[in-house]
Amino acid sequence: MKRIAVLLSVLIAIGCSGSETSNGLIAQSVLLERLGDGDAPLVLDVRTSGEYERGHVPSAVNIPYQQVGARLSELGEVNGRDIVVYCEAGPRAQRAEATLRAAGFERLYHLEGDMAAWRRSQMPVEMPH
């Protein structure tokens, strides 16, 4: 069973690592591994600031989904870099992704299961300093 999980993670990583335009999912384990890389993606938490302060994916940047369009200039330097978007359960992240796509961002990924699944999987959670 562990071999299957490892193989699946590798296949997902291969699928998520290309430079092609994507609207795909990124597995939690793949994101966690990539956060340690020199070429880590920008992780965008589109929940409210209160939700973010109660814990978020390590190194995530918080821009609430309804502010993404107005704050695109904060993301200008990352165009051409992978962006992983998440919220608590999915709908707000999908709205933020649509805004980003319309603004020309192409390397977008959605964190599989969003923050709820990240916590359930007991992945590391960062608190603001």
What residues are labeled active site?
A: 87
Nearest to 103 by CA among 124, 78, 120, 123: 78
CA 89, 36, 109, 106 torsion-angle sign: positive
Burial class (CB in 10 A: 0-12, 13-18, 19+), 77: exposed
**Two tokens at 45?**
């938490």
Q: Give the Cα separation of 45 and 88 in Å (integer).
A: 9
